[in-house]
C-alpha cells in the first residue's frame, strides 16, 4: 500500500512548503534573538536590556511584519500580485 505522501502532486507539495527566507524565518529568528537578549539581561541584571532594548526590538520587528502583511493583503485585494 502506498504512503499518503507519495500520492501528493508537485503543486500540493509546493503549497505546503514553508518559506524560511522572508517573514516566517524572521519571526523564528526574532524569537531566538529575543530569548538570548532576555536571558543575558536577566542573568547579568542589566535593566537597560530588559526594560528598553528588547521591547524596542520586538516592537520594531512586529511593526515591520505587520506592514509586510498589509502590503501583501493590499496587493492581493487590488489584483496586482499574481497576474502574469
Per residue in 26-53, pLDDT (tens digit) is 778 888 988 998 899 999 999 998 899 8
Segments in the chain forming alpha helices (H): 10-16, 23-43, 47-48, 54-78
The residue count of the chain comes to: 84
Higher pLDDT, 25 or 83: 25
Residue 64 placed within a domain: yes
pLDDT of residue 44: 93
Indicate the number of domains in the chain: 1
Give residue 52's domain range. 23-75
Share above pLDDT 70 across residues of the chain, in percent, rounded to a whole number: 71
Residue 14 placed within a domain: no
Residue 81 placed within a domain: no
pTM of the model: 0.56
Residue 62 placed within a domain: yes
Q: What is the largest CA-CA distance in the chain?
A: 60
Amino acid at each position: 500500500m502506498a504512503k499518503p505522501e507519495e500520492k501528493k502532486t508537485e503543486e500540493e507539495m509546493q503549497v505546503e512548503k514553508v518559506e524560511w527566507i522572508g517573514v516566517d524565518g524572521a519571526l523564528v529568528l526574532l524569537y531566538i534573538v529575543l530569548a538570548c537578549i532576555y536571558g543575558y539581561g536577566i542573568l547579568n541584571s542589566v535593566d537597560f536590556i530588559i526594560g528598553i532594548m528588547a521591547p524596542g526590538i520586538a516592537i520594531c520587528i512586529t511593526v515591520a511584519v505587520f506592514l509586510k502583511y498589509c502590503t501583501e493583503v493590499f496587493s492581493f485585494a487590488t489584483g496586482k500580485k499574481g497576474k502574469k
